[in-house]
Amino acid sequence: MKAFFSQLMRGIDNTRTVMLNVFFLFFLGFLIFTWMNAQPSLPERVILQLDLEGALVEQVQRPSFGLSALTSPAPKQVKVHDVVIALQRAAKDENVLGVRLDLQGLSSAALPHLQALRHAVEIFKESGKPVMAYADNWSQAQYYLAATADEVYLHPMGNIALNGYAVYRNYIKGALDKLGIDVHVFRAGKYKSAAAPFIHTEMSEDERKANRAWLDTLWGVYADDLFEMRGIETVRLQYVLDHPAESIEANDGDLGQLFLAEHWVDGLMYSEQADAQLRQKVGDAELVDYKSYLTATHHGFLPEQPKAEDNWIGIVMGSGQILNGEQPSGTIGSDTMVEQLQTAMEDERIKAVVLRLNTPGGSALASESIRHAVEVLRQHGKPVVVSMGSMAASGGYWIASAADEIWASPATITGSIGVFGIVPNINQSLQKLGIQTDGLGTSNIAGALRMDKPLSPELAGSIQLTIDQIYKQFIGHVSQGRNIPAEDVAELAQGRVWSGQDALELGLVDSLGSLDDAILAAARLANIEKEHEPVEVLPEQNPLDLLLDNLLSEAMVKFMPAQNSLVSHVLQSAQHSVSQIFALNDPRGVYALSGIELLQ
């Protein structure tokens, strides 16, 4: 009897604990929901402040919450869509009297994303409301957005770091040789350079030639846009950047006077003076940051329900490396994206799909799984249009090849039709330490891919044959999808990277334009041009996922101070090259990945 009551009391106690936990989670969820849907009030007269803090992205990348977050903290992130929506609402809002661009916190941004924000600023300016930009200093990306303003003001001792575009990499083959580490790289395509740092000590001539072509295109797009926005002559801009000492000397060493003389800015003044200039135009008004403005003009950050009941254009977003399986936001998981495409296929309200890609590529297997899902979607009568962002190369182009139409920005980095595989080996390193590897297997290839065993010529030949076959498959997909003879695709392939502008001329893309242009193209293909509504097709998310995605858009915490020394820069660059390779998870170790990293 005593044992019975003892068990009964334990059961009651456990039940009480469970009930308390359930109540606590319910209460916590209620608080989160209430907080996310809180709608603060706005002052009657508003100056919208675009205080962009972090990297400009289309999808928020989830951080790692383990020990790696201490050494490689994720940066803050700004969603392009959030800023565009804020400007669109502000243009129609009578309470918003102007915009102040506060861009010094913007850490990085691809040119196509900057162009999207430029377009949104121009739409705002059509409302007749002024836009003013001020800063102590501007980077090249920051200055592009500042140039969209009606008036551009700089601190009297400020700087504009306008330098052009460049591609530099740290080549670590020499270090690997000293450590006795062999890296076997198998590739198809003479321009395929993703693994070049492991096997070369400098940029190859083929790679240099290809990089020069698309770099010149990107710089041409940037310079042409500056001419349209500020009237800065392209030839003069190039001269100033190529002869900085001469240009500075002509202005008595005063950078501010140089920027004024070249019409890069409209005036040199202090922050409160610039704000006074803006208030002279709009009168008294309060600065409201765009995040607060979004919250105040919308019911929280939960996804909006579409207004129309039918004729939807499904938007599937994909950013980051292409990996196998289910993956979080900020990477493209094959299972995750296939599920989104299947959802779009099964939903009768969705008449067409726009697949937005921002990716350097990744796993060949994952890319093929997604490409096949696009093909199946089209077979079910739903047109698919691919919209390329800053980059849709290698595996990204593999996926895009199945679409009805491909749209890109002139500055999109695309192509890179090639394949590679990588097999590291530390046998020599172990031998230097006196460690030998020996054993036996039931076949010649049993245990042959161990990192502590030399790679046999026969197995190396087998891997190369596999790489060549997958490359041939890649070319076949492009040939069929783009209706280009395979021999012509082979000439355009070889792992070479193209700008969107060059890709249009070569037939690798159909048109140049934005995501909005791609949506209109999808509506045209589905015969719903007159009445359609874009609706984002999201993977299944629980409330915690939604909370994280919105909190992390600009609230990423850095646990370590920034390190600016040359040594830390080299180490971080090498770490990035290695981590990018080892993050990939193709079961066959075969990748369609571009190695492009743009400096600006």
What digits encode the pLDDT tens for the residues 433-479?
Answer: 888 888 888 888 888 888 888 888 888 888 889 888 999 999 999 99
Beta bridge partners, 184, equal 423
pLDDT level of residue 569 (50, 70, 90 thresholds): very low
The angle formed by the CA atoms of residues 399, 403 and 407, to the nearest 5 degrees, is: 95
Once rounded to an integer, what is the mean pLDDT over residues 88-110?
A: 95
Residue 554 has pLDDT above 50, yes or no: no
Long-range contacts of residues 231-235, Cβ cutoff 8 Å, at least 24 apart: 231/263, 232/262, 232/263, 232/264
Q: Which two tokens stand for residue 214?
A: 């698309």
DSSP-based three-state secondary structure for 506: helix
Residue 74 has pLDDT above 80, yes or no: no
Residue 138 has pLDDT above 70, yes or no: yes
Residue 587 has pLDDT above 80, yes or no: no
Which among 538, 107, 594, 516 has a CA at the least distance from the CA of 329? 538
- Kindly report, as residue ranges, where domains of CATH 3.90.226.10 are found in the chain: 46-167+205-296, 312-593
pLDDT level of residue 168 (50, 70, 90 thresholds): confident
Residue 273 has pLDDT above 50, yes or no: yes
pLDDT level of residue 571 (50, 70, 90 thresholds): very low
Percent of the residues in the chain that have a pLDDT greater than 70, as a whole number: 79
Which among 154, 165, 552, 125 has a CA at the least distance from the CA of 330? 552
Q: What are the helix and strand counts (H, E) for the chain?
A: 23, 23
Once rounded to an integer, what is the mean pLDDT over residues 573-591?
A: 56
Amino acid at 9: M
CATH T-level topology, domain 46-167+205-296: 2-enoyl-CoA Hydratase; Chain A, domain 1 (3.90.226)
pLDDT of the residue at 458: 85
Cα separation, 136 vs 255, in Å, equals 13
- Range in 46-60, 234-248, 454-468 the model is least confident about: 454-468
Residue 558 has pLDDT above 50, yes or no: no
For CA atoms 361, 366, 368, 371, the dihedral sign is negative
DSSP-based three-state secondary structure for 349: coil
pLDDT of the residue at 591: 62
Cα separation, 337 vs 341, in Å, equals 6
Residue 299 has pLDDT above 50, yes or no: no
- Average confidence score pLDDT of the chain: 84
pLDDT of the residue at 156: 96
Higher pLDDT, 298 or 578: 298
pLDDT level of residue 422 (50, 70, 90 thresholds): confident
Higher pLDDT, 19 or 478: 478
pLDDT of the residue at 23: 59
Cα separation, 600 vs 594, in Å, equals 18
Task: Choose which CATH entry (3.90.226.10, 3.40.630.40, 3.40.50.300, 3.30.380.10) describes domain 312-593.
Answer: 3.90.226.10
Catalytic residues: 192, 394
pLDDT of the residue at 462: 87
Higher pLDDT, 355 or 424: 355
Tell me how far apart the terminal alpha carbons of the chain are, to the nearest angstrom.
79
pLDDT of the residue at 218: 94
Cα separation, 116 vs 356, in Å, equals 14
Residue 393 has pLDDT above 50, yes or no: yes
Residue 244 has pLDDT above 90, yes or no: yes
pLDDT of the residue at 583: 57
Residue with tokens 């399986």: 325
